[in-house]
Amino acid sequence: MQRKNMRIPDANVILRYILNDNEDLADTAADFISGGNILIVNEVIAEVVYVLSGKIYKIERDRIKTAIITFLDELDFDNEIIRKALSVYVNTKLDFVDCLLYAYHMINGDEICTFDKGLKNILNKTE
């Protein structure tokens, strides 16, 4: 069975939707997102987190988590990996990608190979 084509917004579309900092782009983003068949991929959320926490926006981790969870809830899009990763992100100093890896480990039981000390420490605590 062939998968139905999905509509995947990139990080800039999600950022315009969440931030509503450019009315025209925010409206275009909202139209695209409300069009149905939306797939929010973890890699794009990682870029959204990176941009929001970066030099331009400097948004605190807990506010980033709230914004992304609110966005996902508006779409009725449940992604347990993203939710777990955001929870870890708020409570640690790990980069968001490391938090995603940790979430894959915790939720799916995936084995993670890393040389990153912070990620290795949190993984060792769960074993």
pLDDT at 119: 96
- pLDDT higher than 90, residue 36: no
Q: Smallest Cα–Cα separation from 96: which of 76, 120, 74, 119? A: 119
5 DSSP 8-state letter: P
Rounded to 10 degrees, the C-alpha dihedral 42/86/120/126 comes to: -110
**For the chain, what are the domain ranges?**
11-125
CA–CA separation, 125 and 29 (whole Å): 40
What are the phi and psi torsion angles at 38 (to 5°)? -90, 135
Helix/strand/coil (H, E, C) string of 6-53?
CECCCHHHHHHHHHCCCHHHHHHHHHHHCCCCECCCHHHHHHHHHHHH
Q: How confident is the model at residue 4 (pLDDT cuts 50, 70, 90)?
A: confident
- pLDDT higher than 80, residue 51: yes
**Mean pLDDT computed over every residue of the chain:** 94
- Over residues 80-125, the pLDDT tens digits come to 999 999 999 999 999 999 999 999 999 999 999 999 999 999 999 8
CA–CA separation, 83 and 76 (whole Å): 13
pTM: 0.92
CA–CA separation, 8 and 122 (whole Å): 31
Q: How confident is the model at residue 127 (pLDDT cuts 50, 70, 90)?
A: low
